[in-house]
């Protein structure tokens, strides 16, 4: 299938089945903003919970924070974003459209010129931070920014979090939260949005340990994506060199995924050195250096960062899972999502309305552990297809023998194989399959 067809079909599936909708659609939408529907919001919560479990709760050396979206605007002066967080922008003198200078597509024709070519201005630097005004009256209101990355507040709270959690370097602070960028050309569905969510870890360590922690987190993050079911053939490393390196980075690697529209970054592992804590020390006048109580050694901790978008992870998992195959001569579409992130873990399907009641009791019991669907409408084949299309890994069928043998049939989404399981063993059986314990 042509990549564009795959993307068109995936976007249609997301819209029709309730994963992603354009924001404020009845007013024509707004470029770069998206809403997550009932299934999308379940799946996002699962992605965030899986990341939090692995990056915070499974580790003794990481704590979490939840900071405000708007911080004192001096934060962004100190971080270098006011001065450096720019993309090059060009305008077409003919059709007046605006592009990111490094992303003008040769296939994109100008509608106002005879030869279809854009007549582009010289690149201008365009700051990506979204501004807002805070304060009740025009003369006292101040300009502020919606955060462009979640990590800056982690640096601002570094000392408080370290002291209150009784930690010392090496240790990390993690956060999941919204970030905003006034992207010049939001595109490729949710890939480049103006409002998105990040999952970031800032790991503070003595300078001489930074290279080892950098490798540690490169390995851990790669493995997490494999554990989420991403095809290892579809991800690769990209090391940043020269001008590619962001103003705060000493070293950086992206993890890229092969989307239907090409290879693109969805996570960055960054060696930020002491850039951030030094910048905030100098700008605020509040010393952010750390003194080891035992050795009395005083140093500004180095930071290793892992930064991944929730929305891009969702898009990776959806593109990675989108599959078309044939079962018993019939075409089907399925989302091969890992059970860990699938929005619905199990669907209970009574074979007939006449036996809906006992099946409903099974669904109510499973709901205490998993997001469980109950579907009694349509023939069983069509009900299986509906669940396959939204990525439900297991369907439980209650049939006319179930009341006799106290058993149900469990069908696996990917293989379509069926197994007879006793009703009393069902919750433990599904826990093992879905949660791994």
What is the maximum span of the chain, computed from C-alpha positions, in angstroms? 78
Nearer residue to ligand GAP within complex by CB, 152 or 392: 152
- Residue closest to 161 by CA, chosen among 196, 199, 201: 201
CB of 74 to ligand GAP, least distance (A): 18
Q: How far apart are the C-alpha atoms of 215 and 112, rounded to whole Å?
A: 51
Where along the sequence are the contacts to ligand GAP (CB under 6 A)? 149, 151, 181, 183, 192-193, 196, 198, 200, 265-268, 305, 307-309, 311-312
Nearer residue to ligand GAP within complex by CB, 145 or 374: 145
CB of 165 to ligand GAP, least distance (A): 21
CB of 23 to ligand GAP, least distance (A): 14
Q: Which residue is nearest to ligand GAP (CB)?
A: 309
Nearer residue to ligand GAP within complex by CB, 153 or 387: 153
Written as one string, the DSSP assignment of 179-207 is EE---SS-BTTTTB-SEEEEEEEEEEE-G
CB of 268 to ligand GAP, least distance (A): 4
* 96 Rama sector, left if φ>0, alpha if ψ -120 to 50, beta otherwise: left
Nearer residue to ligand GAP within complex by CB, 318 or 395: 318
Cα distances from 91 to residues 98, 114, 119, 167, 232, in angstroms, run: 4, 17, 8, 51, 39
Neighbours of 150 (CB within 10 A): 23
Nearer residue to ligand GAP within complex by CB, 269 or 334: 269
CB of 80 to ligand GAP, least distance (A): 12
Q: How far apart are the C-alpha atoms of 418 and 351, rounded to whole Å?
A: 15
CB of 200 to ligand GAP, least distance (A): 6
Nearer residue to ligand GAP within complex by CB, 17 or 275: 275
- Residue closest to 400 by CA, chosen among 437, 435, 358, 372: 358
CB of 197 to ligand GAP, least distance (A): 8
Nearer residue to ligand GAP within complex by CB, 313 or 387: 313
Edge to edge, the sheet with strand 124-127 lists 98-100, 86-91, 124-127
CB of 149 to ligand GAP, least distance (A): 4
Nearer residue to ligand GAP within complex by CB, 221 or 386: 221
> Is 156 exposed, middle or buried (CB count within 10 Å of its CB: 0-12, 13-18, 19+)?
buried
Q: How far apart are the C-alpha atoms of 73 and 141, rounded to whole Å?
A: 13
The encoded tokens of residue 30 equal: 């707004």
- Residue closest to 231 by CA, chosen among 258, 263, 199: 258
CB of 278 to ligand GAP, least distance (A): 17
CB of 92 to ligand GAP, least distance (A): 22
- Residue closest to 101 by CA, chosen among 125, 82, 79: 125
Cα distances from 164 to residues 52, 301, 395, in angstroms, run: 20, 18, 46
Q: How far apart are the C-alpha atoms of 275 and 280, rounded to whole Å?
A: 9
Cα-Cα end-to-end distance for the chain: 38
Cα distances from 155 to residues 111, 160, 174, 202, 278, in angstroms, run: 47, 10, 11, 8, 10
CB of 245 to ligand GAP, least distance (A): 11
- Residue closest to 50 by CA, chosen among 229, 224, 256: 224
Nearer residue to ligand GAP within complex by CB, 197 or 399: 197
Nearer residue to ligand GAP within complex by CB, 275 or 386: 275
* Residue position matching structure tokens 């000493």: 250
Nearer residue to ligand GAP within complex by CB, 174 or 423: 174
224: Cβ contacts below 8 Å, ≥ 6 apart: 50, 51, 54
């Amino acid at each position: 299938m042509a990549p564009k067809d795959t993307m068109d079909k995936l976007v249609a599936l997301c819209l029709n089945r309730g994963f992603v909708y354009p924001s404020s659609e009845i007013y024509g939408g707004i470029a770069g903003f998206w809403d997550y529907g009932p299934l999308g919001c379940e799946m996002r919560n699962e992605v965030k919970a899986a990341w939090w479990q692995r990056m915070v709760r499974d580790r003794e050396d990481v704590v979490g924070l939840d900071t405000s979206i708007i911080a004192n605007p001096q934060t962004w002066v100190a971080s270098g974003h006011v001065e450096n967080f720019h993309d090059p922008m060009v305008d077409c003198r003919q059709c007046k459209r605006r592009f990111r200078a490094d992303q003008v597509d040769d296939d994109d024709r100008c509608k106002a010129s005879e030869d279809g070519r854009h007549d582009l201005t010289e690149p201008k630097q365009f700051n990506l931070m979204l501004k807002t005004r805070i304060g009740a009256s025009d003369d006292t209101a101040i300009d502020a920014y919606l955060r462009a990355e979640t990590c800056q507040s982690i640096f601002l709270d570094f000392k408080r979090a370290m002291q209150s959690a009784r930690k010392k370097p090496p240790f990390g602070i993690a956060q999941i939260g919204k970030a905003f960028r006034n992207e010049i050309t939001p595109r490729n569905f949710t890939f480049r949005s103006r409002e998105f969510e990040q999952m970031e870890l800032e790991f503070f360590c003595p300078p001489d340990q930074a290279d080892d922690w950098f490798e540690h987190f490169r390995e851990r993050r790669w493995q997490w994506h494999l554990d989420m079911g991403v095809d290892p053939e579809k991800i690769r490393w990209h090391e940043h060199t020269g001008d590619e390196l962001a103003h705060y980075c000493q070293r950086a690697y992206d993890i890229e995924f092969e989307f239907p529209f090409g290879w693109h970054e969805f996570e960055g592992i960054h060696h930020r050195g002491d850039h951030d804590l030094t910048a905030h020390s100098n700008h605020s006048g509040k010393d952010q250096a750390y003194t080891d109580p035992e050795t009395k050694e005083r140093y500004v901790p180095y930071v290793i960062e892992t930064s991944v978008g929730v929305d891009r992870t969702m898009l990776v998992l959806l593109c990675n899972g989108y599959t078309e195959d044939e079962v018993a001569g019939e075409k089907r579409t399925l989302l091969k999502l890992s059970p860990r992130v699938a929005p619905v873990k199990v669907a209970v399907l009574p074979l007939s309305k006449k036996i809906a009641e006992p099946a409903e009791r099974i669904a109510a019991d499973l709901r205490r552990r998993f997001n469980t669907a109950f579907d009694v409408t349509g023939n069983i084949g069509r009900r299986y297809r509906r669940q396959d299309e939204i990525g439900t890994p297991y369907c439980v069928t209650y049939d006319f023998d179930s009341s006799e043998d106290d058993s149900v049939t469990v069908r696996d989404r990917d293989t379509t194989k069926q197994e007879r399981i006793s009703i009393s063993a069902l919750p433990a059986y599904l826990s093992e399959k879905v949660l791994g314990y």
